[in-house]
Structure 1
Amino acid sequence: MVKKKSIKAQEIDLRLSEAVLGVRTKKFKSANAAAIALGLRPDSVRKRLCGRITRIEARQKQQLLSKNQEKTLLKWIKELTISGYAPSHRILREVADEVRSNKCRVFQPQQLQLQQQPQTQQQQPQIPNLPLRQEWVPRFIQRHPNLRVKLGRRVEAQRMNGVTKQVLKGWFDAYKSLITEQKIENYNTYNMDETGFSIGTMQSTRIIVDSTLRTRFQAHPGR
């Protein structure tokens, strides 16, 4: 569960960004006016106007994964939530280590723009090469309010209402959209046997899901 303190801090950061934008676009006459309108401390607005970085930006330098690497994990969790195979804490930590070691393709929405920039501007901040510990997963979840930890109930895939025409059409539409968006060639696509996801699972387990989606079960192939 995401702490209320974390959510409140993110809300304050958003309001501070809005205040800075408002002052610079003349929506607010001064930092004091912006602070009063948005319920902020005037000195906080002034410091942000003078270039103080946000909490998120400050913490990024201390995080073990870069911003784009975390985006890659978020997309992966969302796709697994849709498919009914939401990851456990252990699997998320193992995949995160793979992403850190650059063994997985990292989602970079501005990759084309970066390729056109000088080499000196493409340098990413150095991320400490430290092993991920068990407490990394709860902190990752805390940084992303859309993630939730739930108790996934094991249900055989044949019993799930997942083979209807509407569900299958939605899956293939999402698949085609991803292929087009990422410009993935046919020779870079592979078929995977999902049975491996079920090895070592119990009747129920704690899973990490994207709360913006609706799913109740953790699908497992029937035996």
Structure 2
Amino acid sequence: MYTQSPFTPAQIEEKLQQAIVALQLKEFKSIRKAAEHFEVPKSTLADRLAGKKTRSQTHEMAQILSNAEENTLVRWILRLTITGFPATPMLVKEMADEIRLRHTWFDAFRIYLIERKYELDDIYNMDETGFGVGSIQITCIIIDSTQKSNWKVTAGKQEWITAFEYVNAAGKALSPIIIFKAQNTNSAWIPKDTSQSWQFSTSTNGWTSNNHGLEWLKRVFEPESKKVLGDRPRLLIMDGYSSHITGSFIAFCIEKDIDLLILPSHCSHLLQPLDIAVYGPMKRYHALGVDRYSRIFNTALASSGSPASPTRRYAKRMTRLVESQNAEIALLRKQLADAQEVIETRKKRTKGKRVKLQGQFVFSTKEILKIVHEAEEKPKEKKPRGRPRKRPIEESEEEIEEEELENSSNDSELELEDCVACRTRSRVE
């Protein structure tokens, strides 16, 4: 007679794992005694020891989501329920697609690393960061709440300087490229003790562009990495920012056998190594250093003993307000320029041969060239340009009617002549 187990499937699984560990430690002499002690079926315990998969693991290949992905989705749903905003079916579907995309990306990346057999010196990460001339980082300050207005002294000249930097998985950093806001590079901006391998460039606003990304790839990354690695394949990990990923950028990577790995969208703050481990702490210490030197300068200026008139106080106050507004405007301009660049990129129609890359997210140079070559060899049906011309049906019908009228008129004239001839003959007779 079948008796239902008093334990839940999760409890039975836990007991089975405990029994397996106990048998591996030789705490029991036989499987039967271990099964009796942990109150689990003997046959199930024997199957597990033999390496047989569970029922859920057996059917996992036929599922859209794996068991781990399903558990992650359940945790998300429960968390939303606790917050008072339960998930809708559409939201659950979007969450499931997001989980599948993340896991698929990591699985494909892991498989590709195994196939290509990259070494730590072959894997590079590239990222860019910007610095304002002066302290513009958002920080918490303690002020007097009884005052109607409060202010903080900031630098008056808010310009943006961008740096391209890259490191490899072995911890080695290569030469950066620095972008100034100017038409031409001024040698006075570069300290005398700067390394000779550093590269410098300029732009109208101090931000990056499509040309700067390609310039960095040609002048810095390709020659220096090839000098270290030789002919070994190189993997370049970077985000999908529009100034990085362009047609010229990708074409140059294909030509020089550089494999690109683009991070998933909206994940740079979690997956970008340079952004997390280097740029964040560096910017905090940079802001603290600028703030410390600003305090020393302001203290020395205040102790100079020059009397402050109401006009000078008002002028200083207005100067501080203008400087703070300039700092905010500099950040807003950069955000606006980035947004406009994204919009313009979406508006542009891509030209060339489009091919579908399926199965994985990272492709080698040979694989991409092979796919593009196969797509170009396929015959393409040529469609006639413009709208199809209509036949002049009405004109032909009118021409036919005119011909019929002419024929009928000719026939009638012949008949009339025959009649007249007959009458004249009869009169003569």
What TM-score, normalized by structure 1, do the two folds share?
Answer: 0.40
Return the structure number with greater relative CO, CA threshold 8 A, min gap 6: 1
Structure number with larger C-alpha Rg: 2
